[in-house]
A and B are shown apart, each in its own frame.
Chain A
Amino acid sequence: MLKTVEQHFRELTPAVDFCSLRLVSRQDEVIEVRQDVLQPVDTEDDVGAMITVVDGGGLGYAATCDLSAAGLGEALDRATRWAQKTASAAIVDHGKVPRPPSVGEYACAIARPWAATPLGERIDLARQECARLKTDDRIVDWSASLWWIAEEQLYLTSDGGRTQQRFEYLIPGLSVTANEGSETVSRRYGGFDLGRQGGLEILDDVHFFDQAPVIADEVLQLLVAPNCPTGTMDLLLDPDQMYLQIHESIGHPLELDRILGDERNYAGTSFVSLDMLGSYRYGSDLLNITFDPTIAEEFASYRWDDDGVAADRQYIIRQGILERALGGSTSQMRATQPGVANSRACSWNRPPIDRMANLNLEPGTSSLEELIGAVEHGIHMKRNLSWSIDDSRNKFQFGCEHGQMIRNGELAEVVKKPNYNGISATFWRSLKGVGNAALNEVLGTPFCGKGEPNQVIRVGHASPPALFADIDVFGGE
C-alpha cells in the first residue's frame, strides 16, 4: 500500500510551492478483563493520508481515507484550493517556513512483539492479573487491561523528502475499587500513565506482575483511612503524580502555539510570554527540564516530527531558568524564537500542532530516604486521581489516590482523598528536593487533549519523586 500511495503522490503532485503527504497506518487492540470476565476484544485498523499544500504563502490541508489516485487527487485539489483561497489572510507566510527534505527510516526497539504472542496468551496475561485483585468482599470492581498500538508513518514531500517511522506502544493497567456504605475509593496502576514504546517486555520493565497485591492492599487501607487533613505542609510527589504536574504546569504553558494565541478559544493561553524566554526563573535551581525524543522506551520518542523536522534533546529549563519554549518550525518562525521538533498530529485526519512530546524532569541527587527525612511536617502523595488548571496554566488543583503523612522525617498514617493546589508561576520555586536517577520512572499518557479541531495524543514524562515546600493541602468531605 505504501508503495502505491507514494507512486500516486509522485505522479499527482501539483504545480505548487510545496506539497507533502503524511500517511498514517495504525492498528489497535484492547484486552480487558473485568471482574474476571473478558470484555469485548476490539481491534482497529485505521489508515488515511493528510495532504498539505503551501502556495503563494497560504497553507491548506485535506485528509482522506480514500487512498486511490482519485481520492488523493481530490484531496490535493482541496488542499490547493484552501491554500490559495486563504493566502492573503494567512497568519504567517507559510512559504517562508523552513521545511527540510529529510530522508531516512526509524523503528522503535521491540524485544517481545505483541503480535508474536497468540491471542489466547495475551488474554491470559490480563486474566491472571485480574484474578489477583479481588482479595476482599469490600472490593466491588476490579480489572486488568492491555492496550496495544502499532503505528507506521510515511512522510513525503514534493522536494524529495521521505521519512518512514514505525512504532509500537503498550499501555498496561490495573484498577481496583473498594466500597463500604456510600464511601468508595480506588487504586490503579497504569492505564492512564504507564504508556511506553516497545513490546511485551514492558510488562516486566514496569513490574506489572508485582502490582496487583500492592494496590489491592492499599485500596483497603484507604477505605478505612481518615480524610487528608487541611494545612500548609511539605509535599512529596511520586513519579505517577509528578508526570501530570510537569505536563500541566510546565508542558502546556510552554507550548509556543498557546503563547502565540492559537489555543485561546479552546485549550487556553499561557501565563508565559515570549519576553520571558531565556531569563524567567521558572523554578528553583533544582528544576532541570528537557525535551527528549531520544529515550527509546519513552512514549513520544521519534526521529522526525510530523513536519519532517529532525528531533533532538534540548534543555527547556536549566537550573530553574527558562531557556526555550516548545514549538515546531512554524511557531518558531512566528515567534522568532528557537524551539524544538514537536509539530505533531494525533493521526492522518488532523493537522500538526505544537505538542510537548517527551518532557522530563532530570534526576537530582536525593535518595527516597533523604527526601522523606527532610520533611518535618508533610505528606507523600501517590498516583494522580484528579487534575484541573486554569486556561493560562497557572492556578492548578490536583488530587491523588493515596496519601501518607510524614512527621519528623518518617512516614506515618495513610490518608484518603489527598488534594493540593497552587500556582505554576510560584509552585516550582518551592522545589526543594529531587530524587536521584535510581528513582527515575519513565511514564506516559495517551490522553493529552488539545487543538481545534480536537486532537488527543501520546506524551511521555520521566521523573523521579520530588519534594516541594509549604504547599496548601486538603482532603475530601
Chain B
Amino acid sequence: MDMKTDFFRLAEELLGLAQGDEVLLLNFAGEATDFVRFNQSRVRQPGHVHQRYLCIELIDGQRHAGARITLGGGHHCVNGQDESVDRPHAAAVVGLLRSRLADLPEDPHLLYNDQPQSTDQEGENHLPDVEEVVDQVLSAGAGRDLVGLHAQGGIYRGFANSLGQRNWSATHSFNFDWSFYHRADKAVKCGYAGGNWRATEFSTRVDTAVAQLALLGTEAQTIAAGRYRVYLAPVALADFVGLLNWGGVGLKAQRTRQSSLLRMTTDGVRLHHSVTLMDNTRAGVAPNFQAEGFLKPDHVTLIDAGAHADSLVSPRSAREYGVPTNGAGAGEGAESLDLAAGDLPAEEVLQRLGTGVWINNLHYLNYSDRPACRITGMTRFACFWVEAGQIVAPINVMRFDESLFRVLGDNLLGLTREREMILDSGSYGGRDTSSAHFPGALVEDFNFNL
C-alpha cells in the first residue's frame, strides 16, 4: 500500500482530463491507522482503519464545482496499460462536475494558486510493532485503572493541479492518550506521542503519572465559587487559548465583526506584553500547503507583544476583502498554535502560586460572551488546591467563566520559561495533525462561578 505512488499515478491520469482553459485541483487525504481502545486496563475495541479520500475541484474561469470521493487504491492492467483502479470513478466525477458548471454562477471569491510551488515532506517510518505496544500498555495498566486510546500509523496528504504543482506530506506517528483513574472522576491525564516509541520513555511517563496518582488519594476539597490565583498548566492554557480557533483569529470573523478578538481591533484592548501568539507552521506537524495550493509561511503572528497583529486569511477571504492570503484553510484556524515562553521558571510555579488552584486540564470550553472573549468551561482530571506553595488536596471539579482579555491581560502574572509540545490526539473523520506549543500561565483573580 503506497499512497504516494497511488495518488500521483491517479493525479497524472485525471489532470489530463482538463479541457481548454479548465484547471483541476486534487487534494488527497489518507491514513492507515491502528486504533486500540482501553478501559479498566483491558482492551475495549481494537481495530484498523484504512481510508483514502480525494477532493476534485474543476475550475473554468470563475465557475467551479467540487466533489470528495473515497478511493480504493492500487492499480491494475487495462488493455495492456497499468491504470489506477480509481480512474474510472474519478474520471466520471470530473465529467459530472463539468456538467454541473452550467448550473453554477461565477464565484467572485474564487482564488487558487496559479504559481506552482511543489514540495515533498516524507517523514521516516520508525513505528513500533503495534502488538508490542499493546502488551506494554497492558503491563503498565496491571493493578491500575487505565483508560484511553492508542493510535498509530501513517497520515498522508497530497496536492496536485493541472498547472504542474505537486505537494506531498507523509508522517508516521503514534499517539497514546490515556488516563490513570484513582476513583470516580479523579484521574491523571497522560500522553505519549511521536514517531519513535521507546519503551524506556513510556515507562518513565507511566512512573511519573503513577506518582501524581498518589496525590489523588487525599480527600478532595470543594472550593467555593469566587476569584482565585491559579496556575494553568500548558495543556490547560492551550485549551483555553485554543478556543480562539473558533472564530477568533480569522480575517472573515474580524471583517464580519464576529471575532472574539474584535475589541483588540476596535477598542484598543491589549494583552500582557509577554503574550506573543502565532500559527507556527514550521515548528508544527501539519502539512505546509492547503486545499487551493497555497503554501503556508513559516509562521503568522496573530498577537505580537500583547497587540493584535495579523489574522489568518483563506484564499476566499483574500479575494473577498482584497488582501493577500497567508495560506490559511477555509476555517481560518491555526493548526500549529504557538504561545511564546515567558520568564517564570517552572520550578518556582508552586511557590509563586502560593495559595490557589493548580489546573492541569480543562474541559468543554465555549464562549459565554463572545465579544468580551469570555470563556466558560470546567476543570478536569488532576487539579489541586495549593497552600503556601504546597499541594494540599485534589479539588472537585469547578466551572470557570472568565475573559481571555483578563487571563492574558492585567491578571497574567507570568508565563513559564518552559513550554510543552502538545500533539493533537483528535480523530474526527481522520487523525488530526494539529499541535500546540505552550508555556504554563500564572493568573490571579480567575473566576470560578459554579
Query: In whole angstroms, how far apart are the Cα atoms of A391 and B381 in the complex?
Result: 9
Q: Is B80 an interface residue (CB 8 A)?
A: no
Distance in angstroms from A254 CB to nearest chain B CB is 17
Are B103 and A456 in contact, CB atoms less than 8 angstroms apart? no
Cβ contact within 8 Å between A392 and B267: no
Of A59-67, A95-103, A402-410, which stretch is located at the interface?
A59-67
* Most chain B beta-carbon contacts within 10 A, residue among A38, A65, A389, A453: A453
Residue from B70, B74, B372 within 8 A of A47 (CB atoms): B70
**Contacts of A351 on B, CB cut-off 8 Å?**
45, 47
Which residues of chain A are near B377, meaning CB under 8 Å? 388
Which of A183, A184, A388, A423 lies at the interface centre, i.e. has the most chain B CB atoms within 10 A of its CB? A388
Q: When the two chains form their complex, are residues B371 and A453 in contact, meaning their CB atoms are under 8 A apart? A: no
The verdict on A177 contacting B109 (CB below 8 Å), with A41-B65, A45-B68, A455-B428 known, is: no
Any B CB within 8 A of the CB of A260: yes
User: Are A391 and B426 closer than 8 Å at their CB atoms?
Assistant: no
| Residue pair B365, A477 in contact (C-beta under 8 Å) | no
Interface centre among B44, B138, B148, B380 (most CB of A within 10 A): B44
Task: Tell whether, in the assembled complex, residue B103 and residue A476 are in contact, meaning their CB atoms are under 8 Å apart.
Answer: no
- Chain B residues closer than 8 Å to A48, beta-carbon distance: 51, 70
Contact B151 A453 (CB under 8 A): yes
Chain A residues with CB under 8 Å of B131's CB are 85
- B399 contacts which of A60, A66, A68, A390 (Cβ < 8 Å)? A390
* A390: chain B residues within 8 A (beta carbon): 363-364, 378, 380, 397, 399
* CB-CB contacts below 8 Å: A391-418 with B: 391-392, 395, 397, 399, 417
Once A43-B68, A85-B134, A261-B39 are accepted as A-B contacts, the answer to whether A476 and B257 lie under 8 Å apart by CB is: no
The total of chain B residues at the interface (CB under 8 A) is 87
Residue of B nearest to A46 (CB): B70
B172: interface (CB < 8 Å): no
On whether the beta carbons of A37 and B108 are closer than 8 Å, the reply is yes
A11 at the interface (CB under 8 A from B): no
Among B64, B66, B149, B365, the residue within 8 A (CB) of A453 is B149
| B224 is an interface residue with CB less than 8 A from chain A | no
Q: A66-B73, A91-B40 are in contact. Are A78 and B397 (CB under 8 A)?
A: no
B98 at interface by CB-CB < 8 Å: no
A140 near B42 with CB under 8 A, answer no
Binary contact track A58-83/B, C-beta < 8 Å → 1, others 0: 11111111111001000100110011
B179 located at the interface, meaning its Cβ lies under 8 Å from any Cβ of chain A in the complex: yes
Complex interface: chain B residues within 8 A of A38 (CB): 104-105, 107
If A91-B39, A386-B376, A452-B149 touch, does A61 touch B48 (CB 8 Å cutoff)?
A: yes
CB <8 Å contact, A391 and B380: yes
B27-41 interface code vs A (CB 8 A; 1 in, 0 out): 000000101110110
Q: Is the CB of B85 within 8 A of A37?
A: no
Given contacts A119-B100, A397-B450, A417-B369, contact A262 B44 (CB under 8 A): yes
- Closest Cβ–Cβ distance, residue A471 to chain B (whole Å): 12
Q: Which residues in A have their C-beta under 8 angstroms from that of B267? A: 182
Q: Which of B65, B66, B178, B368 contacts A265 (CB 8 A)?
A: B178
B257–A140 touching, CB < 8 Å:
yes
Would you call A85 and B371 a contact (CB within 8 A)?
Answer: no
Chain A residue contacts of B68, Cβ below 8 A:
42-46
Q: Does A231 contact B (CB under 8 A)?
A: no
Residues of chain A within 8 A (CB-CB) of B104 are 38, 41, 119, 123
Q: What count of chain A residues pass the 8 Å CB interface test?
A: 79
Instruction: Looking at the assembled complex, report how far the CB atom of A25 sits from the nearest CB atom of chain B, in whole angstroms.
Output: 9
Complex CA gap A349/B189 in Å reads 27
Say which residue of A177, A182, A392 sits within 8 Å of B266 (CB atoms): A182
Q: Once the chains are docked, how many angstroms separate the CA of A184 from the CA of B378?
A: 26
Q: Check if B401 is an interface residue, CB within 8 A of chain A.
A: yes
Does B298 sit within 8 A of A, measured CB to CB? no
CB distance from A26 to the nearest CB of B (A): 10
Chain A residue contacts of B449, Cβ below 8 A: 397, 421
Q: How far is the CB of B1 from chain A (nearest CB, A)?
A: 9
The answer to the question of B67 belonging to the interface, with a C-beta cut-off of 8 Å to chain A, is: yes
Question: In the complex where A395-B397, A454-B426 touch, is A86 in contact with B43 (Cβ < 8 A)?
Answer: yes
Instruction: Flag if B47 contacts A184 (CB, 8 Å).
Output: no
CA distance A362 to B183 in the complex (A): 35
Contact indicator B100/A349 (Cβ below 8 Å): no
Query: Is residue A118 contacting chain B, with contact meaning CB distance below 8 A?
Result: yes
A45 touches which one: B67, B181, B371 (CB < 8 A)?
Answer: B67
- Take A90-B43, A262-B37 as given contacts and tell me if A66 and B257 are in contact as well, using a CB distance cutoff of 8 Å: no
Please determine whether A386 and B366 come into contact, CB atoms closer than 8 angstroms. Answer: yes
Could you tell me the distance between the alpha carbons of A477 and B368 in the complex, rounded to whole angstroms?
Answer: 10
Shortest C-beta distance, B284 to chain A (Å), equals 20
Contact: A477 with B403, CB < 8 Å?
Answer: yes
- Assess whether A264 is interfacial by the CB under 8 Å rule: yes
Does B415 sit within 8 A of A, measured CB to CB? Answer: no
Contact residues in B for A43 (Cβ distance below 8 Å): 66-68
Contact with B along A169-199 (1 / 0, CB 8 A): 0000000010101111010000000000000
A266 touches B (CB below 8 Å) = yes
**For B52, what are the chain A residues with a Cβ–Cβ distance below 8 Å?**
65
- Tell me the bound Cα distance from A449 to B266 in angstroms: 35
Chain A nearest CB, measured from B414 CB (Å): 25
Q: Does B343 contact A (CB under 8 A)?
A: no
Please, how many angstroms separate the alpha-carbon atoms of A260 and B148 in the complex?
A: 13
**A140: chain B residues within 8 A (beta carbon):** 256-257
Distance in angstroms between the alpha carbons of A477 and B447 in the assembled complex: 14
Instruction: State whether A59 touches B45 (Cβ < 8 A).
Output: yes
A268 CB within 8 Å of chain B: yes
Instruction: Identify B427's interface contact among A120, A141, A453, CB under 8 A.
Output: A453
Q: Which residue of B lies closest to A42 (CB)?
A: B66
A68–B85 touching, CB < 8 Å: yes
A38 to B45, CA, bound (A): 43
Most buried by A among B258, B263, B364, B449: B364
Residue A329 at the chain B interface, CB threshold 8 Å: no
Residue B352 at the chain A interface, CB threshold 8 Å: no
* Known A-B contacts A45-B70, A86-B43, A123-B103; A476 and B374 likewise in contact (beta carbons under 8 Å): yes
- Is B47 a contact partner of A265 (Cβ separation < 8 A)? no
**CB pair B266 A181 closer than 8 Å:** yes
Task: Report the separation of the CA atoms of residues A182 and B258 in the bound assembly, to the nearest whole angstrom.
Answer: 9
A62 vs B47: C-alpha distance in the bound complex, in angstroms? 5
Tell me the B156-170 residues at the A interface (CB within 8 Å). Answer: none
CB atoms of B147 and A265 under 8 A apart: yes
* Contact partners of A119 in chain B: CB under 8 A: 100, 103-104
Instruction: Report if A269 contacts B (CB, 8 A).
Output: yes
Q: Are A392 and B450 in contact (CB under 8 A)?
A: no
- Tell me the chain B residues, 79-106 only, with Cβ under 8 Å from chain A: 85, 93, 100, 103-105
- CB-CB < 8 A to B148: which residues of A? 265, 452
Give chain B nearest CB distance to A354 CB in angstroms: 12
Q: Hey, which chain B residues are within 8 Å of A66, CB to CB?
A: 50, 72-74
In the assembled complex, A419 has its CB within 8 A of some CB on chain B: yes
Q: CB of A116 within 8 A of chain B? A: no
Query: Contacts A89-B138, A391-B380 known; A65 to B64 CB distance under 8 Å?
Result: no
| B185 CB within 8 Å of chain A | yes
Q: With a CB–CB cut-off of 8 A, which chain B residues contact A45?
A: 67-70, 93
Known: A41-B104, A453-B151. 17 other contacts (CB 8 A): A38-B104, A38-B107, A43-B68, A45-B68, A68-B72, A83-B46, A90-B43, A186-B258, A262-B37, A269-B184, A386-B376, A388-B368, A390-B363, A395-B397, A395-B450, A454-B427, A456-B428
Closest 7 CB pairs of A and B: A61-B47, A476-B369, A452-B149, A179-B257, A453-B427, A141-B256, A91-B42
Using a CB–CB distance below 8 Å, which chain A residues touch chain B?
37-38, 40-48, 58-68, 71, 75, 78-79, 82-83, 85-86, 89-91, 118-120, 123, 140-141, 177, 179, 181-184, 186, 260-262, 264-266, 268-269, 349-351, 386-392, 395, 397, 399, 417, 419, 421, 423, 449, 452-456, 476-477
21 CB-based A-B contacts, threshold 8 Å: A41-B66, A46-B53, A48-B51, A61-B48, A62-B49, A66-B50, A66-B72, A68-B85, A82-B46, A85-B46, A119-B103, A123-B103, A141-B258, A179-B256, A262-B39, A269-B185, A386-B368, A392-B397, A395-B378, A397-B449, A397-B450
